Copies of this chain bind each other. A is one copy, B any other.
Amino acid sequence: MYSRSSEQNPNISDAQSIMATILKNLPRECSLTKIEYEGPRIALHTNNPKFLLENNKILPNIVAQIKKRIVLRIDETLRVEEDKFKKIVEKSLAKKSNISDILFDPALGEAVIFLKKFTEITNIESISDQLTLDTGWKVTFKKAPKMISSIKAINKIAKDTADYRVQFFKKVGEKIFRERMNANYEASLISLGGFAEIGRSAMILSTNESNILIDCGLNNYTDDPLLKFPRFDSIGKKLSDIDAVLLSHAHFDHTGFLPTLFKYGYQGPVYCTEPTAYLMYILFREYVRNNGKFAIYNGIDYEKIFSHIIYLNYNIVTDLTPDIKVTSYNAGHILGSSSFHFHIGNGDHNFVYTGDIKFGKSSYLENAVWNFPRVETLLIECTNGGREDSFMTREEAESKLINEVNQVLKAKKIVLMPTQLIGTSQELLVTLDQFIRQKKIKKCKIYMDEILAEINSIHEFDSEFLNKDLHGNIISDEYNPFRSKSISLISDIEGQELKTGIVIYPSSTLNCHKTFEYLKKIATDPDNLIIFTSKPNETSLARQIIEGKKMLSMGREQIEVRCRIESIYSLNSHSDFNQLNAYISRLRSKLKKIIVNHGERSKVQNLSSYSSKVQNVPTQYMLNQEALKLL
C-alpha cells in the first residue's frame, strides 16, 4: 500500500552488477556456455572445466566480491552416459568390487559413488577431479551405509523429476535475485504452532518482501484439528505468499505437516540439511504406513517434497529472498539439526531460531553452535525449561547408567530404554557401545527395533554431520558403532527370544502399537529395569508408568508392571534448564530480545521470567496465532 518513493532502492541493479562482476573476472579460457540460477546459487556452465579446476582461486575470488554462492557446472553435452560412467569409474579404481552403488542426479549433473571401504583410496580428491573431467559429472565419494534403500528412493524421485527440477531451480533463483520492491526494512515473526506447547512447530518470518515458513510440524498426540495443525487458517497469509520453507530438523513435530502443503499446492523450495531430508522421508513413509486411511496425506503428497529440496550445509550463507539470508548451524539435537541465523535486509536485524538444541555433551554429535556474529532477537526452544528441569550432569548420568545397567546384566536380566526413534536412540547406542568397548559395562546384546537400522544408516551416509572423531572413525573404518557387533535387530518382538542385554525401544511415549508386546516380555519381571531418558507428555503411557501405574490393559489382555523404573533425563537430546541458560549467557551481551517457544506453557513462562530477571534480557513467550514485530 505504501512505499517511501523518495528513497532510492539500493538493490535496483544488483542482479546486473552480479553478472557484470562475474563476467569481468572470468578469463576467456573459462569457456562459459551459460550462467544460470540454480536456486540460491549461480551456476557457471563451462565446456572447459579443467581451466577452472586448475585455477582454483578464480571462483572464490568472485564469491568474495559478489557475496553469492557460485557453483561450477560442466556443460551437459560433455556428460557421458551412466553405463559409460560406471565403466570409467571401475577402471580408475584399484578394486572394482569396492563400489557398492552409484547414484546420479541429472538435474545438477552430480554423481555419488558409494564405496564399501573408503580407506582403499588414498588420493580421493584428485581422483574425484579426474573423474569429473573424464565423465562430465561432478563426482563425490561416500562411504556405503548398511542400508541404502531410502537413499535410493529419494534419488529416484530426484531423477524422475530432473527436467522439472532444472526449471524449478531456475525459477527459484529468479525469485531470489529479483529486485527488491521496498527500500525500507521491516520484519515480523508470526507464530502458527509450537508456541507455549510442543508439537506442530511452525512460524513465518515475514518482511515486506518475503515470507519464510520455518518448520512445519504436526502434533500427532491429538485429533483436535485446532490443536493438531499449524494455524495457517488465521494468519492472513496464503500458501502462494510463502517464498520458502526451512526445516530445522527431521522430527515429525517440525516436519509432519509439510506434505499437506504440497498436497494443497505449494511448489516452492524446501531448505534443509541432507540428513533432515533423508530422515524425514523415513518418518513420512512410516506415518503413512502406520496410519493407513487415517493419514492426512499419502505417498504422492510427501514424495513431491523431494523434487523441491535445496540442501543447506552448516555455516554457509544462503540467499533465501531479496532481503533474507540464512545460515544453518549445528544445533546438536539430532543428525543434521540446525539452528538458523537470519540476516534481514542489510544486516538491519539478525534473528536466530535455535530449533531444538542440545547445548551439552553428546557421544555422537558436536555441541550446539552459539557464537553467531550478531543476534538482536533470539528465539529459543524450551522443552526442558521448567525450574524442575535441572538434570544431573552428563558425568553423573553416565555413571548412573553404568551402575544401573551392570546391576541388571549381573542378574542376567534386561534393561528396556524407551526413547526417540531419531536422536536419543543413537545417543544411547553410541554411548552404550563405547561403554562396552571400554569395558565399563559388561559385554551384552544391544537390541534395537529394525527401523533403527535404517535410521542408523543415514548416520553413516551423512557421517560428516556427526562429531569429528566419530566421523573420522567411520570413514576410516576404525570404529563404527552403527555396525557394532553388539547390535541385534528385532523384527518381530513376539517371536524374539530376549537374552540379557539392553533394548533400545524407539518410542519415548510408549504410545505405539508394539509397546504391549515389549512390556509383556520385559516389564513383568521384577529384576528387569525400564530407564526413561525423556519426560513424556501427559497423555502418554510412559507418563503413567513413571507415575507408578502397575496394571496395564490392552483389549482383553492385562499385564502387571513389576520391573523397576528409573529415569536419566540428562541423556536426552534437548538442553536442560541449566544448559538453556548457559546458552543464553553466552549470547546475552548481543541480544535485544529473547522469545521462548517449544515448551509447555508453565515452562515457557518459567524460562521467560528467569531470563528477564536473572539474565536481564527482555524475554517473552508467544502463543500461537500471534505476530511480533522484530524490525
Contact = CB atoms under 8 A, between A and B. Distances in A.
Interface of A: 1-4, 184, 186, 188, 190, 206, 208, 224-226, 229, 232-237, 620, 623-629
A209 B186 CA distance: 29
Given A235-B627, A625-B629, 9 more contacts: A1-B232, A2-B225, A2-B229, A186-B226, A186-B234, A190-B627, A624-B629, A626-B628, A627-B627
A627 B629 contact: no
Given A184-B226, A626-B188, A1 B235 contact: no
A225 B4 contact: yes
A224 B4 contact: yes
Contacts of A208: 233-234
A624 B627 CA distance: 10
Contacts of A625: 186, 188, 627, 629
Contact of A236 (B237, B620, B628, B629): B237
Nearest to A196: B629
A236 B233 contact: no
A602 to B, nearest CB: 14
A624 B620 CA distance: 17
Given A4-B225, A229-B2, A237-B236, A626 B629 contact: yes
Contacts of A236: 235-237
A452 to B, nearest CB: 35
Contact of A2 (B4, B184, B226): B226
26 contacts: A1-B229, A2-B225, A2-B226, A2-B229, A2-B233, A3-B225, A4-B224, A4-B225, A4-B226, A184-B226, A186-B234, A186-B625, A188-B625, A206-B234, A208-B233, A208-B234, A236-B236, A620-B620, A623-B628, A623-B629, A624-B629, A625-B627, A625-B629, A626-B627, A626-B629, A627-B627
Contacts of A184: 226
A225 B5 CA distance: 10
A339 B280 CA distance: 52
Interface centre among A4, A224, A225, A629 (most CB of B within 10 A): A629
Nearest to A188: B625
A323 to B, nearest CB: 14
Nearest to A237: B236
Nearest to A236: B236
A608 to B, nearest CB: 10
Contacts of A188: 234, 625-626
A611 B448 CA distance: 55
Contacts of A233: 1-2, 208
Contacts of A237: 236
A67 to B, nearest CB: 28
A348 to B, nearest CB: 14
Nearest to A232: B1
